[in-house]
């Protein structure tokens, strides 16, 4: 059974989608720990409802360094095989990423390589996509490497952008139609060992 660690910062609807898929028997894995970047994130309550222990590990509590080591120590002590960034809003450094190479998955609410990288998170991503005037947008699940939103792409899905779209409506549309389906699917593929990496690209075995 694959042991999954989740990192969250907010509402945790993507975490919920993964927990629901596990409950429905669609993922051969188990979320064993939830790490929040801040106190009070609703995602912590979602974990508690599933009897999953959570802990707050916040960068601001490590002004003299040691944040990444605290994260590494925690996930190693929990023996995790996969870490999912499910709406996690803190940039992670090389030390952490190297410790879990090709084992950290992120969900980004746009079609990478558009509208991604430093400063592109949450609603801002959708504001920028609408400002540009794109006609489709979507979400991307990718492995995390040392550059923001630049790791190997695992899955992408799209939605059409309506003429009267707002950042809020686009965010909702992408979450409901893409993110909540794609993240559980990518986690399931990982748990079934159906994702391989070659020359920095991910290849997914999508049979059945």
175 binds ligand GAR (CB under 6 A): yes
Q: Which tokens is 205 given?
A: 């075995």
108: annotated active-site residue: yes
Find the binding residues for ligand GAR in span 76-105 (CB under 6 A): 86-87
10 binds ligand GAR (CB under 6 A): yes
Candidate residues 13, 58, 169, 177; the one interacting with ligand GAR per rule CB under 6 A: 13
CA–CA distance, 185 with 200 (Å, rounded to integer): 21
Find the binding residues for ligand GAR in span 105-124 (CB under 6 A): 107-109, 121-122
Tell me the β-bridge partners of 155: 141
Q: How far is the CB of 193 from ligand GAR (least distance, A)?
A: 25
Which residue number, 11 or 81, has a Cβ lying nearer to ligand GAR? Answer: 11
| Interaction site with ligand GAR (CB under 6 A) | 10-14, 43, 86-87, 107-109, 121-122, 125, 175, 179
């Amino acid at each position: 059974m694959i042991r999954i660690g989740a990192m969250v910062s907010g509402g945790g609807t993507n975490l919920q989608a993964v927990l629901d898929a596990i409950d429905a028997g669609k993922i051969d894995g188990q979320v064993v720990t939830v790490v929040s970047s801040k106190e009070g994130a609703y995602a912590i309550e979602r974990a508690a409802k599933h009897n999953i222990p959570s802990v707050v590990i916040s960068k601001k509590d490590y002004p003299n360094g040691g944040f990444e080591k605290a994260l590494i120590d925690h996930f190693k002590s929990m023996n995790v095989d996969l870490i999912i960034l499910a709406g996690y809003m803190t940039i992670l450094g090389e030390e952490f990423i190297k410790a879990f190479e090709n084992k950290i998955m992120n969900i980004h609410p746009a079609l990478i390589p558009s509208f991604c990288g430093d400063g592109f998170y949450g609603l801002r991503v959708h504001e920028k996509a609408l400002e540009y005037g794109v006609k489709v947008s979507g979400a991307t699940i990718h492995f995390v490497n040392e550059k923001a939103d630049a790791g190997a792409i695992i899955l992408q899905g799209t939605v059409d952008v309506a003429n009267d779209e707002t950042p809020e409506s686009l965010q909702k549309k992408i979450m409901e139609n893409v993110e909540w389906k794609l993240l559980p699917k990518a986690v399931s593929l990982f748990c079934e060992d159906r994702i391989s990496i070659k020359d920095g690209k991910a290849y997914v075995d999508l049979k059945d």
